[in-house]
Structure 1
Amino acid sequence: MFSYCSDPSQLEGLVWMSCYLTSGTHLLFYASFGTVFLLLALTAPAALALGYAGALASRSQIAPLRWFGKTYTSMVRGIPDILFFLFVPIALDQGLEWVRHQFLCDSGTPVRQGNDFVVCPAAKLPLNNAAEWVHNTYNLTLAIIAFAVVFGAFAANVLYGAMQAVPRAQLETAEAYGMTPRQVMRRILVPQMWIYALPGLSNLWMILIKATPLLFILGIEDVVYWARELGGAKTSAFSYPHPDWRLYYFLALLVFYLLMTAISERVLARVTRRLSRGQATLGGEALRREAAA
Structure 2
Amino acid sequence: MFSYCTDPSALEGLAWLSCYLTSGTHLLFYGSFGTVLLLLAITAPVALLFGFGGAMASRSRIAPLRWFGKIYTSMVRGIPDILFFLFVPIALDQGFEWLRAKMLCEGDEPIRQGNDFVVCAAAKLPLSTSPPWVHDTYGIFLAVIAFSVVFGAFAANVLYGAMQAVPHAQLETAEAYGMTQRQVTRRVLIPQMWTYALPGLSNLWMILIKATPLLFLLGVEDIVYWARELGGSKTSAFSYPHPDWRLYYFLAILVFYLLMTFISERVLARVTRRLSRGQATMGAGGIA
TM-score computed with the length of structure 1 as normaliser: 0.96
TM-fit CA distance, 1:27: 0.4
Contact kept in structure 2, 1:25 and 1:238, CA below 8 Å: no
Write out aligned runs for 1:126-145 (5 A): 126-145=126-145
1:57 — aligned with what?
57
Deviations 1:61-104 (A, max 9, x none): 00000000000000000000000000000000000100111111
Q: Provide the C-alpha distance between the structure 2 equivalents of 1:237 and 1:243, rounded to a whole number of angstroms.
A: 16
2:250 — aligned with what?
250
TM-fit CA distance, 1:281: 1.7
TM-fit CA distance, 1:8: 2.0
Contact kept in structure 1, 2:170 and 2:188, CA below 8 Å: yes
Q: Provide the C-alpha distance between the structure 2 equivalents of 1:282 and 1:206, rounded to a whole number of angstroms.
A: 19
Aligned-pair identity in percent equals 81
2:84 — aligned with what?
84
Which secondary structure state, in structure 1, belongs to the residue aligned with residue 61 of structure 2? coil
Q: Which moved more, 1:197-206 or 1:8-17?
A: 8-17
TM-fit CA distance, 1:109: 1.6
Aligned residue identity for 1:72: Y
Contact kept in structure 1, 2:162 and 2:194, CA below 8 Å: yes
Which secondary structure state, in structure 2, belongs to the residue aligned with residue 178 of structure 1? coil
Q: 1:34 to 1:283 in 2, by over 3 A?
A: closer
TM-fit CA distance, 1:5: 1.2
Contact kept in structure 2, 1:229 and 1:237, CA below 8 Å: no
Structure 1 residues without counterparts, runs of 5 or longer: 289-293
1:156 — aligned with what?
156
Q: Provide the C-alpha distance between the structure 2 equivalents of 1:203 and 1:285, rounded to a whole number of angstroms.
A: 18
Which secondary structure state, in structure 1, belongs to the residue aligned with residue 109 of structure 2? coil
Deviations 1:245-292 (A, max 9, x none): 10011011111101100100000000000001122324445452xxxx
1:291 — aligned with what?
none
Write out aligned runs for 1:47-196 (5 A): 47-196=47-196
Which secondary structure state, in structure 2, belongs to the residue aligned with residue 190 of structure 1? helix
C-alpha RMSD of the superposition = 1.3
TM-fit CA distance, 1:148: 0.3
Q: Provide the C-alpha distance between the structure 2 equivalents of 1:263 and 1:238, rounded to a whole number of angstroms.
A: 37
Structure 2 residues without counterparts, runs of 5 or longer: none
1:270 — aligned with what?
270
Contact kept in structure 2, 1:8 and 1:240, CA below 8 Å: no
TM-score computed with the length of structure 2 as normaliser: 0.97
Contact kept in structure 2, 1:20 and 1:240, CA below 8 Å: no
2:208 — aligned with what?
208
Contact kept in structure 2, 1:111 and 1:119, CA below 8 Å: yes
Aligned residue identity for 1:215: L
Residues 1:13 and 2:13 aligned together: yes
Contact kept in structure 2, 1:25 and 1:237, CA below 8 Å: no
Contact kept in structure 1, 2:280 and 2:286, CA below 8 Å: no
